[in-house]
Amino acid sequence: MKKIFLTILATFSILGALAQTEAGKQQNRHEIWLGGGGGISSLQYSPSIGDHNTGYGYLGGLGYTYYINYNWGISIGGEYQYLQARYNLSNTSDVGPGSDVLDSYLVPFPNSGEVFLFNVSPRSRLRERQEVAYINIPLIARYQIDLPGKNRVKNHKLSFGAGLKTGIPIKGSYYTSSSFETTGIDWVTRDEYTNMPNHGFGTYTYEKTKFDWKQKINFAGTIEAGVKWQFNPKWGLYTGLFADFGLNDIVKDRPTSDNYYVQYNPTGKPYAINTIVKSDYGWTDGTNGGQEIRRSIVDKVHTFSAGIKIAATFGFKPFDKKEKVKTVAPYEDPWDKPVTGKQMRELLKEQTGDLTEAQKEEFEKLKQFLSDELKQPDLSAPVYCFDFDRDNIPADMRAVLDHKAELLKKYPSLSLTIEGHTDSAGSDKYNYGLGLRRADAVKYYLVSKGISGSRLTVTSKGRKEPIIKNTQGNEKANCPNRRVEFILKK
pLDDT of residue 370: 46
112: left (phi over 0), alpha (psi -120 to 50) or beta: beta
Which helix (H) or strand (E) covers residue 448, if one does?
helix 428-448
Give per-residue pLDDT as tens, 24-76.
Answer: 355 788 999 999 999 999 999 999 888 999 999 999 999 999 999 888 999 99
Instruction: Give the residue range(s) of CATH 3.30.1330.60 domains in the chain.
Output: 376-489
Mean pLDDT by 10 residues, the chain (490 residues): 47 42 59 94 91 93 92 95 92 59 81 80 87 96 81 72 96 89 84 87 87 93 93 88 95 80 84 82 63 82 95 79 42 46 51 52 55 53 83 85 86 87 86 91 91 91 84 67 82
The separation between CA 352 and the C-alpha centre of its own chain, rounded to angstroms, equals 67
Task: List where CATH 2.40.160.20 sits in the chain.
Answer: 2-88+129-174+214-318
Confirm if 227 and 147 have CB atoms less than 8 A apart.
yes
Give the CA radius of gyration of the chain.
38
pLDDT at 18: 40
pLDDT given for residue 22 in this prediction: 39
Compute the C-alpha angle 399/414/398, nearest 5°: 10
The fold of the 2-88+129-174+214-318 domain, in CATH, is: Porin (2.40.160)
Q: Name the pTM for this structure.
A: 0.60
> Distance between CA atoms of 104 and 102, rounded to whole angstroms?
7
Q: Assess contact for 53 and 40: CB atoms under 8 A.
A: no
**Cα 209–Cα 211–Cα 216 angle in degrees, nearest 5:** 150
Q: Taking Cα atoms as reference points, which of 213, 86, 38, 62 lies closest to residue 135? A: 62
Q: Outline where 305-427 has alpha helix (H).
A: 341-348, 357-375, 398-410
The gap from C-alpha 131 to its chain's centroid, in whole angstroms, comes to: 25
Q: 413-453: per-residue pLDDT in tens?
A: 888 899 999 988 888 888 998 999 999 999 999 999 999 98
Backbone angles phi, psi at 395, to 5 degrees: -60, -40
Cα-based torsion angle of the residue sequence 36, 38, 43, 45 in order, rounded to the nearest 10 degrees: -130
Q: Which of 37, 23, 13 is nearest to 395 (CA)?
A: 23
Surface-to-core class of residue 89, CB atoms within 10 Å of its CB (0-12 exposed, 13-18 middle, 19+ buried): buried
CA atoms within a 13 Å half-sphere pointing along the CA-CB vector of 93:
2
pLDDT at residue number 388? 84
Let me know: does 196 contact 183? Beta carbons within 8 Å.
no
Cβ(54)–Cβ(40) below 8 Å: yes
CA atoms of 357 and 363, how far apart (whole Å) = 10
Residues 6+ apart with CB under 8 A from 212: 172, 173, 174
State the CATH class of domain 376-489.
alpha beta
